[in-house]
Structure 1
Amino acid sequence: MALTALDERTALVIIDMQNGVVGAATTPHTGGEVLARAVALAEAFRAHDAPVVLVRVSLAADGADAVPGRTEASRPAATPPPGWDAIVDELAGHPGDITVTKRNWGAFHGTDLDLHLRRRGITQIVLAGVATSIGVESTARAAHEHGYHVTLAVDAMADRDADAHRNSVERIFPRLGETGSTAEVIALLEKTLG
């Protein structure tokens, strides 16, 4: 579904734009392209005093808070380098932003994201970040289940796998909300809040 509207109480939620993740998701957009678009979205939301939520994934050094369960995908054996879970400098450092730390794929389960949004009367979220088929899709599904209107800035996200990205954008996201480009989201934000 094409973009039709943004609610007056809309927040931007950016997933996993952090030092150890941005470079890993490179299709169909590079990490740099995704970052530039995420920064443009954040600047537009901040200019209208609309909430910007920066979500990062982090785990204890000993792995004690890793999600349990058996999977066929291997888990990283090495301890991540220091600072891997810090929000990238281009997005960090804005005192009005909300930072949420997650331990799962999605940004809702086990975090205070919903509480932050509800306290501000938010009815809609715009999503961007990496990886499209994991963190972004998981968060979009949960946002839909929590009753938020969901908008996905599909050129401000990327994945390690082109087919996974395409599946999310073409098959999953239209069932959860509306999709559009960064420029379309910003234009609609200007129209709604400008």
Structure 2
Amino acid sequence: MTHTALLVMDYQNGVVSRFGIPSAVAAARRAVDAARAARVPVLFAGVEFRPGYPEIATSNLMFGGIPQRAAAGPADPRSTEIHPDLARRDDEPLVTKVRVSAFAGSDLDYLLRAAGTRHLVLAGIATSGVVLSTLRQAADLDLELTVLADACADADPEVHRVLVEKVFPQQAAVTTVDRWAASLQD
């Protein structure tokens, strides 16, 4: 699997606790373990803003309310950390993004190009958010894509199903963690 990388997106404490989907966390952990065993680089991506949220326009429907919610009380400082079940290593890049896509406001494209990555494997929360947005941008960058359906989760199971069964296959191979892990051994 030369030139392949696994990108694990928004598996942050705050996101995981909000979605509450332990099966997706377990699947993402199996994907990370399989990638490490096969020496496939693992990258993590998460959303985080500067103090005072200068990156957020009030017109942004998804993020615009964050400054007001933050004014009501401080968030848990660990909410933006990668979930401990994934055991991120210091040598695994953490891409900080300021919008939905893992490419938005981050250095992800530079990291992938510098490593010669041509095949990107995606896992993330939410399927209709970071996974969809990142997949579209990665496809526009001519990357070969795989989506690990069981390592993705969405608040709406029907939206998740439609995306992984009908939308994503137009631009990516869609599989399970176990099938992908087995392919690494071939």
Displacement of 1:141 after TM fit?
Answer: 0.7
Could you tell me which of 7, 17, 22 is aligned with 2:16? Answer: 22
Match of 2:49 in 1: 59
Change (3 A) 1:73 1:108: closer
Matched, 1:45 2:39: no
Displacement of 1:121 after TM fit?
Answer: 0.9
| Contact 1:24–1:160 (Cα < 8 Å) also in 2 | no
Displacement of 1:66 after TM fit?
Answer: 1.9
Q: Which has the higher contact order (CA 8 A, sep 6+)?
A: 1
Unaligned runs of 5+ in 2: none
Moved more, 131-140 or 92-101: 92-101
Match of 1:157 in 2: 152
Q: Secondary structure at the match of 1:107?
A: coil
Instruction: Compute the RMSD of aligned alpha carbons.
Output: 1.9
User: What TM-score comes out, normalization by structure 1 length?
Assistant: 0.86
Moved more, 142-151 or 70-79: 70-79
User: CA–CA distance in 2 between the matches of 1:98 and 1:49?
Assistant: 15
Change (3 A) 1:94 1:136: same
Query: Match of 1:57, as an amino acid?
Result: V
User: CA–CA distance in 2 between the matches of 1:55 and 1:90?
Assistant: 15
Displacement of 1:69 after TM fit?
Answer: 3.2
Query: Match of 2:55, as an amino acid?
Result: D
Displacement of 1:9 after TM fit?
Answer: 1.4
User: CA–CA distance in 2 between the matches of 1:49 and 1:172?
Assistant: 30
Change (3 A) 1:101 1:74: closer
Displacement of 1:152 after TM fit?
Answer: 0.3
User: CA–CA distance in 2 between the matches of 1:50 and 1:67?
Assistant: 37
Matched, 1:175 2:166: no
Unaligned runs of 5+ in 1: 1-6
User: What TM-score comes out, normalization by structure 2 length?
Assistant: 0.89
- Encode CA deviations 1:91-120: one digit per residue, 9 max, x unaligned: 244133111000010001221111111111
Q: Secondary structure at the match of 1:54?
A: strand
